């Protein structure tokens, strides 16, 4: 029992020593403050926060995600064809594909699929 207590004491002392060393060695200097500021995507964080953003690029990215998820939903439908009844499977598949096609037509009709304006 004393041996376990001794091991625990050694582990706690070792952990505290390493933590103190890290705090002393890793102390940041005032000169290095600029290095510790966040730097994301090439934008300077000191500049104006509301930079112009392309809404067209955002819409294309959202459309890509929507159609990507639809493909993920469509692929297992082929695998379930063997294990399910044909008529309900066909009705469900056609209904889902019809909704996807109507959504594509709606986006095309509203001009969201135009790459340049």
Q: What are all long-range contacts of 49-57, with beta carbons under 8 Å and residues at least 24 apart?
A: 56/117
Residue with tokens 């103190």: 20
- The pTM score is 0.47
pLDDT for the residue 49: 61
Domain count, the chain: 1
Structural domain boundaries, residue 66: 62-75+84-117
Give strand pairing partners of 43.
40
The answer to whether residue 108 sits within a structural domain is yes
Please check whether residue 103 is in contact with residue 97, taking contact to mean a CB–CB distance below 8 angstroms: no
pLDDT band at 37 (very low <50, low <70, confident <90, very high): low
Give strand pairing partners of 40.
43
Closest CA to 115 of 63, 53, 57, 52: 57
The answer to whether residue 117 sits within a structural domain is yes
């Amino acid at each position: 029992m004393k041996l376990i207590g001794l091991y625990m004491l050694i582990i706690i002392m070792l952990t505290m020593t390493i933590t103190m060393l890290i705090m002393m060695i890793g102390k940041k200097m005032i000169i290095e403050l600029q290095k510790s500021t966040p730097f994301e995507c090439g934008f300077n964080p000191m500049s104006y926060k509301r930079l112009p953003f392309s809404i067209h690029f955002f819409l294309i990215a959202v459309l890509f995600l929507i159609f990507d998820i639809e493909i993920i939903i469509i692929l297992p439908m082929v695998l379930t064809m063997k294990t399910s009844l044909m008529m309900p499977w066909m009705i469900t598949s056609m209904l889902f594909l019809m909704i996807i096609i109507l959504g594509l037509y709606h986006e095309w009709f509203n001009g969201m699929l135009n790459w340049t304006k």
